[in-house]
Amino acid sequence: MPEQEPALAALDRAWDEAIRAHREAVGPRAILYSGGVDSSLVAWELRRRPETVLVTVGVAGASDLGASAAGAELIGLPWLPTTLEDESLSELRRSEASELTEVPPARQSLFLALAAAIRSAPPGGLLCGQGADELFLGYAHFRGLRGPEAEARAQQDLDQLVGHDWPWTQRFARRSGRSIDSPFLDPVFIRAAQRIPIEERLPDPSPKACLRRLAERRGVPPSLTRRPKRALQFGSGIDAWWRRRRAL
């Protein structure tokens, strides 16, 4: 829509600044890749960068494995899939038991999925798409919210990410001999995203429409910008595994 163009152009400029340092960085980089619009935008921007690979994890038959195979081929980057077995997930769950007790039960499978993805990546620098759901209101709990209520929930989600989830992810990466970053959490990009009116970021009629328009503007293939949202813990199949193990 024409009235959205200035905000989209400003978001585009902020993204260009946020991604530039990663495009110009020296040395191997791995992108935690699900095939969704968040990680596809990051991967697309780095598709010509040497020593860049895509990393995907999932249990056998997980939807992210199929989507990522197709996405990697479109983007043209090497792809390193890992099919997670029960034994490896159980070992990871045991090793992270003390950390997971600090996480609400409803979010524990997400942290386990992140940990599995980080451990499966080659040593060195990692990139991911964390922050996109918080900035562009990708979560289901935004459906039906409006105005101040939506603003308050969006700030709550971002505070949770910046204050707890992202530091946890970084700590785990360091303990695993890696470093991790997300261009969506660049301060300039956060400010540009938050300048977009909340009503334009709400998931009606589709989640993360602003981000999808940005990805289209940057040239990401439509089959990747339009892929339905599926959170990491669900797309990887780890949430279903987690629920089965907790029921035992």
What tens digit of pLDDT does each residue of 40-66 get? 999 999 999 999 999 999 999 999 999
Q: Is the pLDDT of residue 1 over 50?
A: no
CB-based burial, 164-200: b 16+ in 10 Å, e otherwise:
ebbebbbebbeebebebbbbbbbeebbebbeebebee
Task: State the CB neighbour count (10 A cutoff) for residue 110.
Answer: 19
What average pLDDT does the segment 235-245 reach? Answer: 92
- Superfamily in which the 2-241 domain is placed by CATH: HUPs (3.40.50.620)
Q: Is the pLDDT of residue 3 over 60?
A: no
Strand order in 124-127's β-sheet? Answer: 79-84, 52-59, 29-32, 124-127, 178-181
Q: What pLDDT sits at residue 153?
A: 95
What is the per-residue pLDDT across 105-163, written as a single tens digit (0 to 9) for each? 878 899 999 999 999 999 889 999 999 999 999 988 998 899 899 999 999 999 999 99
Q: Cβ(57)–Cβ(120) under 8 Å?
A: yes
What average pLDDT does the segment 18-26 reach? Answer: 94
Helix, strand and coil percent figures for the chain, each rounded to 5: 60, 10, 30
Quick one: pLDDT band at residue 247, thresholds 50, 70, 90?
low
The contacts of residue 222 (CB under 8 Å, 6+ apart) are: 216
* pTM score, whole prediction: 0.93
Tokens 């081929």 -> residue: 73
Q: What pLDDT sits at residue 4?
A: 58
Q: Which residue has the higher pLDDT, 184 or 100?
A: 184
Q: Is the pLDDT of residue 104 over 90?
A: no
What is the per-residue pLDDT across 165-220, written as a single tens digit (0 to 9) for each? 999 999 999 999 999 999 999 999 999 999 999 999 998 778 899 999 999 999 99
Q: Cβ(199)–Cβ(28) under 8 Å?
A: no
d(CA 71, CA 79): 9
Q: Is the pLDDT of residue 2 over 60?
A: no
